[in-house]
Structure 1
Amino acid sequence: MNTPPSPSGAEPTDGSSVRIGALVPLTPPGWVEAGRHLLAGLELAVRDVNDAGGVLGRPLELVVRDTAADPQRAAAAVDDLARLGVAAVAGEYHSVVARAAAARADALGLPFLCSSAVLDALTEQPTEWVARLAPAQSHGWRIYADFLLGAGHSRIAVAVAPSVYWESGTRILRDHLARHGGSVIELDMRTLSATAVCDELAAHRATALLLLVGHPEPAVSIVRSARRDPRLAGLLIGAPAGQPEFAEWAALLGDDGAAVPFLRYLPERFGPLGVRVEKALRERLAEAPSFVAFEGYDTVTVLAEVLRSHGTDGADRARTAGSWPRIEVEGTRGQIRFSRTQGISVRQWAWPPVQVVDRDPAEPGRFRILHTG
């Protein structure tokens, strides 16, 4: 259903829906599995909001747009959603794509609650129009660096592909490790094969390799080559961006995909809301929900509360955006509130729970919590 937006300043009384735009990667080259989990969380929360009476008596409606990991497509989708009169925009997984969407939402004066993207510089200048649930990359990746140091790894290699996101992650790791006597060796994946990566690791005597590359390739080929190279026995392979979280990783790599630490944003134990939502998401997805699904659920939960308190239509967008610092909502992973954080240009939940986790080699379907921050 695409109900026309109400005239400026008018509050519909006919039960028409309150629409939220949703940006989700649902087709390649987007990370489709992450998009599927994000959308499942968004849709489940919409169902729960509507089962509880909607927003000021009106049903909540999700207007979904596939970004396919394309920044230009995401920016065009924000334009489209603004024309449709959505009250706010939610979602997006890929950081570079979310940055394009945030810039467009800021320019249009359209509230955007980013679910999953972590790039620190989500907008060029501070803005009141954009808020974010996921932790900033600098926060999460420093925690990951602390895990590496605590595990005795100070000579780290990164297999890195060209991307603002990967370059930012490399810089965060290098700066944090250098302050503690560690170092980072960059392996440029524009010129190296998986076999050549193994040669470089052996030559530099790195004790850990981090995969700052696309999934499934070249990440899967690198893991397979490193696991089979006798020179690299004892090498820690890590994936801070979270590739091993999803079932596709285990399906492609099997036992080779275990013991690859990654970042995820879940508490050690859920409260009652998280337990209920985890069960419902598992039924909806027919598999264990990732942290991305919980990010989706929390996004709609926050926006529904914002809209109940500060208006539901295009004319109320400024009030919606202005409410970020005043809202406090119980999410699946804790109490959510937004603030200004040094070096972050958007309103930020500081912070969601952060874990370093891997798949248990003895039981790859089970996750082990290695470190928290």
Structure 2
Amino acid sequence: MELAVRDVNSSGGIAGRPLELLVRDTAADPSRASAAVDELAALGVAALAGEYHSVVARAVAARADALEVPFLCSSAVLDDLTSAPTDWVARLAPPQSRGWRLYADYLLGEGHTRIAVTTQPSVYWLTGTRILQEHFAAHGGTVIILDASDPLVLCDALASSHVTALLLLVGHPEPAVPIVKAIRGDQRLANLVLGAPAGQPEFADWAALLGESGSAIAFLRYLPEHLTPLGSRVLDRLPEASSFVAYEGYDTIAVLAEVLRTHGPDRTRIAAAWPTVAVDGTRGKIHFTRVPGINVWQWPTPPIQIADRDPASLNHFRTLHTS
């Protein structure tokens, strides 16, 4: 986002004025996020941008809607970002139902019809589990749920479950890292396929904490097969370990800058502009529309990949499937 702001300002800013980015850390805490929205709204920001954590993004979206502050959500995927339709919120990331169904199709296509998930209490993990269960059931498959609290107990349960794959619907690094270490070290589970649809293996410290054990664990990421010309230029200026979230952040600023240039800083005019957006982003042409079942303005075609870390080169990602 900071890189995108610098690019906007180096090209003249917004109507000759510099674009300013005010940053607040929500710390994955919904109440802290709501307080940040209140503070930023009182400071007179034209719009809100960002948030990676889906549960926190829902709190930001609810407060932004209540205060009538435009919010462009960069990364969070929960389908129900708001409880009712709103014109104040738009989103770049795909809804969870789209990405996780694609992930389920990938597993089914690989022959995995009986899988397990290990999960923690959270609306995000609960929603993901339900999406997987419903999609597998519709295709004659089965998803069983196993507790994530004790990696050794989990290994015993997996050894007797007759599943061919386990999905890690848990936080990182705890308990994801201890679970992966326990499974990779258990000879009974040598043929078990691991997956992490939420994207934990893309984190920069995943390989450092797990080494080779962290490879060959498929995850979702929101990149195209080829970046746009803008995306290629941004790639050359990002740190090597940057994930797809960096491109979501850059695209967020690119969209808001174009809206501000065209419609000015008035919040009502910004919110009214979502359906008119047409911006060349780092990953494709960005526009927003109403998607059935989604209460916010949604980019309907963000790219989705299923990837993993290459066992032969842990810093290299293999693309396994593309939407």
Q: Which TM-score band (shorter chain)?
A: over 0.9
1:330 aligns with 2:280: yes
CA distance in 2, matches of 1:351, 1:226: 36
1:328 positional shift = 0.5
Secondary structure class of the residue paired with 1:66: coil
Residue among 29, 37, 61 paired with 1:102: 61
CA distance in 2, matches of 1:336, 1:182: 35
CA distance in 2, matches of 1:205, 1:199: 11
Residue among 306, 310, 316 paired with 1:356: 306
Residue among 188, 196, 200 paired with 2:147: 188
1:247 positional shift = 1.5
1:271 positional shift = 2.2
Contact 2:87–2:297, Cα closer than 8 Å, also in 1: yes
Secondary structure class of the residue paired with 1:222: helix
1:155 aligns with 2:155: no
Secondary structure class of the residue paired with 1:61: coil
Secondary structure class of the residue paired with 1:220: helix
Letter in 1 for 2:16: G
1:246 positional shift = 1.6
Provide the identity percentage. 68
Q: Following superposition of structure 1 onto structure 2, how do residues 48-59 of structure 1 map, counting pairs within 5 Å?
A: 48-59=7-18
CA distance in 2, matches of 1:188, 1:256: 21
Letter in 2 for 1:289: S
1:271 aligns with 2:228: yes
Unaligned runs of 5+ in 1: 1-41
CA distance in 2, matches of 1:69, 1:220: 19
CA distance in 2, matches of 1:146, 1:350: 19
Q: Following superposition of structure 1 onto structure 2, how do residues 136-285 of structure 1 map, counting pairs within 5 Å?
A: 136-189=95-148, 192-282=149-239
Q: Which runs of 4+ in 1 moved over 2 A?
A: none
TM-score calculated relative to the size of structure 2: 0.99
1:351 positional shift = 1.7
Residue among 284, 301, 319 paired with 2:254: 301
CA distance in 1, matches of 2:296, 2:14: 25
Secondary structure class of the residue paired with 1:174: helix
1:122 aligns with 2:81: yes
Matched length = 323
Spell out, residue by residue over 1:309-368, the C-alpha distance to the aligned partner (whole angstroms, 9 max, x if none). Answer: 1111xxx11110010011100000000000000111100001210000000111111110
Spell out, residue by residue over 1:64-98, the C-alpha distance to the aligned partner (whole angstroms, 9 max, x if none). Answer: 00100000000010000000000000000100000
Letter in 2 for 1:105: A
CA distance in 1, matches of 2:227, 2:278: 18
Secondary structure class of the residue paired with 1:234: coil
Letter in 1 for 2:210: L
Spell out, residue by residue over 1:276-300, the C-alpha distance to the aligned partner (whole angstroms, 9 max, x if none). Answer: 0011112xxxx23200010000000
Residue among 250, 268, 281 paired with 1:318: 268
CA distance in 2, matches of 1:188, 1:61: 45
C-alpha RMSD of the superposition: 0.7
Contact 2:228–2:281, Cα closer than 8 Å, also in 1: no
1:292 aligns with 2:242: no
Secondary structure class of the residue paired with 2:287: strand
CA distance in 2, matches of 1:354, 1:53: 33
CA distance in 1, matches of 2:153, 2:147: 11
Spell out, residue by residue over 1:177-213, the C-alpha distance to the aligned partner (whole angstroms, 9 max, x if none). Answer: 1111111101123xx4001111111111111000001
Which residue matches 1:16? none
CA distance in 1, matches of 2:308, 2:147: 25
Letter in 2 for 1:61: E
TM-score calculated relative to the size of structure 1: 0.86
